[in-house]
Every structure is written in C-alpha cells, then in structure tokens.
Structure 1
Amino acid sequence: MKNIVRLMSLLLIIGAYNTRFSFLSLNILLAYIPLELSFQFFRVKKNSLKIGLAALFMLYFPNIPYLVTDIIHMDILDIYNHFTGDSIKNLGDWTLTVVLFLAVFSFVLIGFGQLLKLLNYIKNRYALNMTQVSLILIAACLLSSLGIYAGRFPPRFHSIDIFVRPWYVFKTIFLNWSLVKLEIVFLFLILHLAIVGVMTMNKQLSKLK
C-alpha cells in the first residue's frame, strides 16, 4: 500500500512536470509529505517521535485539500468552447485534466483516511469519547482550512514560511481577519467536514449486507 502511494505520487509528479500544469509537481510533492509522515507515525514506537510526526503531519496536511483549489487553473486548458458549448478534442489538455483529477481524488481519499486513522489512534490511546474526538476533528479541519486560505490568497504562504518567519505567519493567519476571510475559511471548513462525512457514510454502507 505505502509503496503504491509512493509510486503513484512519483508518477503524478513526473507526469505534470514540463506541462502547463507544472505547478502540480510541487503541489503533489507537498501533498505527499503528510502521507509519508503518517506512514512513519504508525511505524515508530517512541511516543516523543509520534508527537513530533503528528505535529508535522498537521502542519503539512492542508497541502492535501489545497489540491482541490487547483481546479481554478482549468481555465488555461483548451478543452471547452464557451461560445458553442462543445468540448474540444485536445488530447494533451484532456490528459492534464485526468492528471489533476487523479491527484485530487487520490490524495484527498488517502490523506483524509490517514487523518481519521490518526484520530482513531488518539481516541484509543487516550480513551477519548466521541464528543472529544469530534471536537479534535473540527479543530484539525479548521486549522487546515486556515492553511488553505493562507496558501491560496495574498500574501500566499508556503509550508516553509512557518519556519522562516513564524511570527509573521502566525499574525497574518490568526490575528488578521475580515468578513470575506471568515466566509471563505468557513466554506473550506464545510468542504473538509463534507469529505469526512462522505467517507464515513461510505464506510457505513460498506458494512451493510
């Protein structure tokens, strides 16, 4: 499973490189980092290492749902005629469409699955009830929503910025607010919770005979 994810990530990174979606190579790499961190979390035994890996996982996790917002770049592809309403038979750009879909679908499915697996571990490790776990999940999704906003809208932070200029990042994300920011972050939060809800419903349906 882990090696398949690693191979898939590598193929998607290579597939997007030197195309009009070259930005996807970096975004996929950043989305892969939290997956690898989660793999290592369940491999190591020392509690201190687990705490560090969990913290880094949450730091890089927003890069996974951030891929959803990359659909805004679809307008650079020549696949649709807005005047006639017809699709254009452009194999290269349709290939990029498929690559984008695979990246979003795969990383969201696996990434949120790892998030829920991590929460389940915390639940069992510290004997938490469902209310406590739900609050942790909402908090994690809210922080991820803030991360997406910080990465998509000016001044557009990258994951490395939190290490280079931590106070400026903290101040901009948590202390500078506007009504529009609140609305967009709330929208991203709904996206997170909807993904979790769909995955939970799918899990329940799979148990039905």
Structure 2
Amino acid sequence: MPLSPGALRYRLPLLLVLGLSLALSFALIAVRILLTGQLQFTFLLWNLFLAAIPFGLSAALTLAARPPAGRLLLPVGAVWLLFFPNAPYLITDLFHLVPRRGVPYWYDLALIMSCAWNGLMLAFASLLDMHTLVRQRLGFWAGWGFVNLALGLSAFGVYLGRYLRYNSWDILSNPFTLFYDIVQRLLHPFHNWQTWGVTVVFWAFLLIAYATVRLLGRGQEIRE
C-alpha cells in the first residue's frame, strides 16, 4: 500500500534533516583529519553506520505495508532490537572527550556531540516507527510496553557495549561468553551494582527523552 500524503510529508523532511545532520558529523570528522593528519575519531563513522541500521529496518517495515504482516514484523523486529542499542550507545562516546593537541577542545566537543545527537535522533526516529507499528497491531498499552522493553534492553546493551566491550554480532560469534556474563549479572545484582546503575539511569533518561520528543511532535500536529 503506498504511503499517504501525510506520511510522505513527515518522512521526506525527516530524511532530509537527518541527512544534513549526518553530513555535518562527517564534515567535522573530515576537517579534523585534515587539520591533524590523524584518524582519531574515524571510529565514529562506523558507530554512526551501526546506529543507522535500526532506522533503516524500521523505515523499511513502515514503507513495506501498513500494517506489515506479523510474519514480517516479528523477525525484522528481532533484528531491529538486536541493533537498536547501537544508536543510543553513541552518547557514551562523550567519554572520549579529552584535550588533545592540534585541535581546539570546543571543536572535539562539537564533533562528538554531533555524533551523539545523531545517534539519539536515529534511535528515536526508529523507535517512533516501531512504536506505531506495535500500537496499530496490539493497542496503546502494548505500544508503550514495547517502548519500555526496547529502551530497557537498549540501556543494558549500552552497558554491555561500553563496559564489557560486546558488539551486536557477539550473539552469533561469541554467544556462550555473552550469555555467561549476562546470567552472572542477573543472578548477582548486588555484586554488579554498576551494571544496574548504568541500565536504570540510561533507561530513565532515554524514556523521558523519547516521551519529550513524542509530545513535542504531537503538540506541533495539534497546532497545525
């Protein structure tokens, strides 16, 4: 089924703004390479690519059919959930912000903030798509339940990626070690307080930020 005019009015400007925002991040990284001759922050390009995967998947589901069949939504949704933590993970790249020679401190701040912002916006744009799809099939409460689950698992995934250095594909390439580390933290929460501190704080932040973005968009629709 083709997209409605209203959906197109939303989708095309969103793609344009996200494209411009990503282009700014790419330009900041490129200029830094030219100034320093070092590939200091090129890893952010890979992180941005990983952050774009869940947005691409959710956009494909949204564009494929309205609503998509369950046999399509479930497997694609599972892959989406696996890669989704890579988007908000970019916030933690602020840990790399330290004074370095050859580039002003403010420039590195702008560069990393730009990438972190793009990760967050890709995450929320993707989650908005998935939230809508789940709500259409299962109702209001199921939609928000899915949002809480996705953001909670994402916050836990951010911890696994930042502190234990796991990647999304470790579920296939290194499943036993990953499973062991997860089970240990579930069985011994008080010995792994940092795990749950990071998870709860990031979950709360992401949930409040997502709700804010959603309410801002809804307020604009009402005014129009």
* Contact residue 21 and residue 96 of structure 1 kept, 8 A: no
1:67 to 90, 109, 123: 90
How far off its partner does 1:134 sit? 2.1
- Structure 1 195/3 Cα, relative in aligned 2: closer, same or farther at 3 Å? closer
Residues 1:175 and 1:134: Cα distance change in structure 2 (over 3 Å):
farther
Structure 2: which 5+ residue stretches go unaligned?
A: 1-11, 31-37
CA-CA distance at 1:13 after TM superposition = 4.7
- Using the TM superposition, give the Cα deviation of residue 94 of structure 1 relative to its aligned residue in structure 2, in angstroms: 3.6
Q: How does 1:37-52 map to 2 (within 5 A)?
A: 37-45=57-65, 47=69, 48-52=71-75
- 1:82 corresponds in structure 2 to none
Q: Which amino acid aligns with 1:12?
A: S
Matches within 5 A, 1:148-159: 148-154=158-164, 156-159=165-168
Q: Secondary structure at the match of 1:158?
A: coil
Q: Does structure 1 residue 108 correspond to structure 2 residue 120?
A: yes
Give distance in 2, aligned partners of 1:141 and 1:166: 22
Q: Once superposed, what is the RMSD of the aligned Cα atoms?
A: 2.7
Q: Which structure has the highest helix share of the two?
A: 2
Task: Return the alpha-carbon distance in structure 2 between the equivalents of residues 180 and 110 of structure 1.
Answer: 27
- Within 5 A, what are the aligned runs for 1:25-44? 25-44=45-64
Say which SS state the counterpart of residue 25 (structure 1) adopts.
helix
Report which structure shows greater RCO (CA 8 Å, sep ≥6): 2
Q: Distance in 2 between matches of 1:10 and 1:3?
A: 12
Identify which range, 15-24 or 136-145, moves more after superposition: 15-24
Alpha carbons of structure 1 residues 13 and 173: separation in structure 2 relative to 1, 3 Å: farther
SS in 2 for 1:75: coil
Structure 1-normalised TM-score?
0.79
Offset of 1:198 from its aligned partner? 1.6
Question: Matched residues in 2 for 1:149 and 1:29: separation?
Answer: 19
Structure 1 letter corresponding to 2:52: Y
Aligned partners of 1:150 and 1:99: how far apart in 2?
24
Offset of residue 144 of structure 1: 0.3
